[in-house]
């Protein structure tokens, strides 16, 4: 197998190349790449390509995940380039900050890195050589595709911020519920509740007719833990009662659900319900069961009672003092300043000062004031109680790496969280992709959440806080924690499961909360 992979690797490296990068810049002057970032598993990338570790990664991508060999070779190279580029384009909060002439970047379906440059830059030849020289410090230009686009990344962010300001000033109108900058489309995406020709026309006439904007159907963007559990249960009951089969992209059914959430006695006689055959009697997940765990008997002695209860594993369930599950454990971290060890959890799942318990209702810690559930963060730091420890062993007994990375569209990721493990283990560790790295969810109370990464993974209410990781062959790089997603996806074959799962990036949490991953 290794001889076959080695021979094919050499062939594909020669054959699959793409256009060299070219562009102009007048102000781009990044720091030279950090030597440590150039190392891959303690080796230079060239050494890695000749190692057994590389062949093991290829073998896993092809024979375990089912990717083609061509894609796998390209993807492993691209992941290294992205890690290198984070030294140039990543800011102190672990976010991508591009020069004015860059539109963004993403991984295409062939696993190749695509860097977008504005058409103005592409037409100019003043600084092409300068840009190539700079970029070549981070990537091999023979394996990068340059795509010319209309808008720069900074222009798109400015338009998104303008739309956010409009939403804050007109909160009663409730026309859209999320905003995204999606790199591979080079557009700001507005998630409209009325994503119809009439709804789009109204938006363009009354709000903005910018060519930067495209539209998608708004879906219910909910936190997968904490206070949204009650709302999730209401949605579930209404979906079952009225036989709604598509609360994912059917504008009319979404309109009905919103009306019934506001008033369960609302007149929906105008709506034609699906017939009995289409109501989804064979849903694989129970529609009627509550997502709140039954209250457990809280013991009088809250100290851990045995070795099993002293170890907190990434993805395991976390409960409040009433025995209600409010989320999942995230990844292990320590505070730089105090040297306190603990775990990262979702901010919306628990409040500062709230006591947290494990599945046998043993006390494991109290949520610290290093907590935020609005703006750029939905995360909290949970210091562990005396005698409690944690590890990097996922629910599937694989190791979550202590390294972390900045999200990019097209990166292969997975998550492991408690409710998915219990209710639909077939989705546990299932590989999906990042589809958006600049997603804002608008909340009715104005405490919007920014900077989320969106995926095509499934998740359930109660998965909030569970670890999300990047697939690098046999290595699982920490990417963040489950935050929420669109809910529910109801159909004849799949129901009451979230899709387009959002996660809060680890790089943002680690940098913003001054944590160390270990």
What is the full per-residue pLDDT of the chain (518 aa) written as tens digits?
Answer: 433 343 333 333 333 333 233 333 333 334 444 433 344 556 666 777 778 888 888 888 988 888 999 999 999 999 989 988 887 787 766 678 888 888 999 999 999 999 998 877 666 654 556 667 778 888 888 899 988 899 999 999 999 999 999 999 998 788 999 999 999 999 999 999 999 999 999 999 999 999 999 999 888 887 766 656 677 778 877 877 777 777 767 788 888 888 888 888 888 777 775 543 343 333 333 333 333 332 222 233 333 445 456 889 999 999 999 888 889 999 999 987 788 999 999 999 999 999 999 988 899 999 999 999 888 899 999 999 999 999 999 988 889 999 999 999 999 999 999 888 887 777 778 889 999 999 999 987 888 999 999 998 888 878 899 999 999 877 899 999 999 887 655 443 444 455 678 999 999 999 889 999 99
Q: What is the 3-state secondary structure (H, E, C) of 252-268?
A: HHHHHHHHHHHCCCCCC
Which of 94, 119, 164 minimizes the C-alpha distance to 24?
Answer: 119
Distance, in Å, from the CA atom of 1 to the CA atom of 408, rounded to the nearest integer, reads: 31
Which structure tokens are listed for 144? 């990068």
Determine the topology of domain 155-217 in CATH. Answer: GMP Synthetase; Chain A, domain 3 (3.30.300)
Distance, in Å, from the CA atom of 197 to the CA atom of 504, rounded to the nearest integer, reads: 33
118 φ, ψ (degrees, to nearest 5): -65, 155
* Domain chopping of the chain, boundaries: 2-149, 155-217, 227-518
In this prediction, residue 243 carries a pLDDT of 73
Distance, in Å, from the CA atom of 408 to the CA atom of 454, rounded to the nearest integer, reads: 10
Q: What angle do CA 400, 404, 409 make, to 5 degrees?
A: 105
Which of 340, 439, 423 minimizes the C-alpha distance to 381?
Answer: 340
In this prediction, residue 227 carries a pLDDT of 59
Residue bearing tokens 């949204």: 228
Residue bearing tokens 């104005």: 446
CATH of region 227-518: 2.40.10.10
- Contact (Cβ atoms closer than 8 angstroms) between residue 142 and residue 20: yes
In this prediction, residue 352 carries a pLDDT of 95
Which of 143, 2, 107 minimizes the C-alpha distance to 63?
Answer: 2
Distance, in Å, from the CA atom of 247 to the CA atom of 459, rounded to the nearest integer, reads: 16
Distance, in Å, from the CA atom of 29 to the CA atom of 380, rounded to the nearest integer, reads: 35
- Number of H helices and number of E strands within the chain? 13, 27
Distance, in Å, from the CA atom of 161 to the CA atom of 170, rounded to the nearest integer, reads: 14
Residue 299 CA to chain centroid, in angstroms?
37
- Contact (Cβ atoms closer than 8 angstroms) between residue 244 and residue 252: no
- Contact (Cβ atoms closer than 8 angstroms) between residue 325 and residue 384: no
In this prediction, residue 162 carries a pLDDT of 97
Which structure tokens are listed for 260? 């019934």
Which structure tokens are listed for 181? 């900058």
Which structure tokens are listed for 382? 């949970």
Question: What pTM was computed for the model?
Answer: 0.82
183 φ, ψ (degrees, to nearest 5): -60, -45
Which of 466, 476, 471 minimizes the C-alpha distance to 401?
Answer: 476
């Amino acid at each position: 197998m290794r001889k076959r992979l080695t021979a094919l690797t050499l062939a594909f490296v020669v054959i699959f190349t793409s256009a060299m990068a070219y562009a102009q810049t007048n102000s781009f002057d990044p720091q030279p790449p950090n030597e440590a970032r150039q190392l891959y598993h303690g080796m230079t990338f060239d050494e890695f390509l000749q190692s057994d570790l590389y062949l093991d990664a290829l073998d896993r991508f092809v024979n375990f995940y089912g990717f083609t060999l061509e894609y796998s070779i390209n993807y492993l190279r691209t992941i290294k380039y992205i890690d290198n580029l984070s030294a140039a384009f990543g800011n102190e909060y672990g976010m991508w900050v591009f020069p004015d002439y860059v539109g963004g970047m993403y991984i295409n379906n062939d696993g190749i890195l695509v860097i977008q440059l504005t058409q103005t830059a592409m037409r100019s030849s003043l600084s092409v050589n300068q840009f190539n020289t700079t970029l070549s410090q981070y990537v091999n230009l023979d394996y990068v595709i340059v795509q010319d686009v209309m808008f720069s990344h900074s222009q798109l962010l400015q338009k998104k911020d303008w739309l956010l300001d409009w939403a804050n000033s007109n909160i009663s109108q409730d026309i859209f519920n999320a905003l995204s900058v999606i790199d591979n489309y080079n557009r700001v995406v507005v998630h409209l509740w009325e994503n119809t020709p009439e709804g789009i026309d109204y938006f363009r006439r009354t709000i903005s007719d910018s060519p930067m904007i495209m539209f998608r159907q708004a879906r219910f963007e909910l936190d997968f833990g904490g206070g949204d559990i009650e709302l999730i249960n209401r949605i579930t009951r209404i979906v079952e009662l009225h036989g709604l089969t598509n609360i994912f992209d059917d504008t009319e059914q979404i309109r009905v659900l919103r009306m019934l959430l506001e008033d369960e006695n609302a007149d929906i006689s105008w709506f034609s319900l699906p017939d009995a055959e289409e109501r989804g009697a064979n849903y694989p997940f129970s529609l009627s069961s509550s997502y709140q765990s039954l209250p457990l008997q809280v013991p009088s002695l809250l100290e851990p009672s045995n070795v099993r209860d002293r170890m907190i594993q990434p993805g395991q369930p976390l409960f409040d003092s009433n025995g209600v599950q409010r989320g999942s454990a995230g990844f292990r971290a320590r505070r730089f300043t105090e040297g306190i060890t603990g775990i990262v959890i979702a901010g919306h799942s628990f409040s500062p000062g709230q006591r947290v318990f494990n599945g046998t209702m043993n006390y494991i810690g109290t949520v610290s004031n290093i907590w935020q559930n609005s703006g750029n963060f939905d995360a909290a730091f949970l210091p562990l109680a005396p005698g409690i420890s944690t590890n990097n062993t996922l629910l599937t007994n694989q190791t979550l790496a202590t390294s972390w990375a900045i999200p990019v569209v097209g990166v292969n990721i997975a998550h492991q969280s408690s409710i998915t493990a219990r209710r639909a283990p077939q989705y546990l560790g299932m590989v999906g992709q990042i589809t958006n790295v600049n997603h804002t969810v608008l909340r009715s109370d104005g405490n919007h959440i920014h900077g989320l990464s969106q995926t095509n993974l499934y998740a359930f209410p109660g998965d909030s806080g569970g670890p999300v990781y990047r697939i690098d062959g046999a290595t699982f790089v920490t990417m963040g924690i489950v935050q929420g997603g669109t809910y529910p996806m109801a159909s004849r074959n799949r129901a009451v499961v979230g899709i387009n799962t959002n996660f809060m990036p680890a790089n943002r949490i680690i940098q913003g909360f001054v944590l160390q991953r270990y």
